[in-house]
Amino acid sequence: MNLPIPLSVYRNNPNANSLSNLPYRSTEINRNSGWASRRLSIDPLVLDLNGDGVRLSRYSENSILFDIDNDGGSLEQTGWFSATDGVLVRDLNNNGKIDNIAEMFSEYYGGKAGSQGESGEKRYMNGFEALQ
């Protein structure tokens, strides 16, 4: 799979009694294909909601546009997750939508937006650290 966004993937575990003991593995979802100006390594917290494993798509397989690097608004084409999986989010500005990666539990969670195409502030190492 030629997919740059490593995701912290947490599998459904009926024996887990807290988020801190869920097993996880990293998966790449969106590797540079040559036309992008830089590689993005984003680590949102993706949840397997139905127990069949996390299903990810390549950015070339869909038309998802999202401010994945919190650069202040430009939308990047990105890989995504299936409808039976989820991403842990929080609507920080209470506008009823998830505007950018800073509202997903990721290394950008709660960070200041970048400007002039530069990535925003990375406050955490990954989505799991942002959760704690």
Q: Domain segments of the chain: what residues?
A: 1-132
**pLDDT at residue number 89:** 93
Residue of 47, 49, 56 lying closest to 27 (CA atoms): 56
pTM strictly above 0.85: no
Please answer whether residues 69 and 76 qualify as being in contact, where contact means their C-beta atoms are separated by less than 8 angstroms.
yes
Mean pLDDT, rounded, of the chain: 73
Residues of the chain with pLDDT under 70: 1-42
**pLDDT at residue number 50:** 92
Using a 10 angstrom Cβ sphere, with 0-12 exposed, 13-18 middle and 19 or more buried, the burial of residue 78 is: buried
Apex 93 CA angle, 29 and 26, nearest 5? 20
Tell how many helices (H) and how many strands (E) occur in the chain. Answer: 1, 6
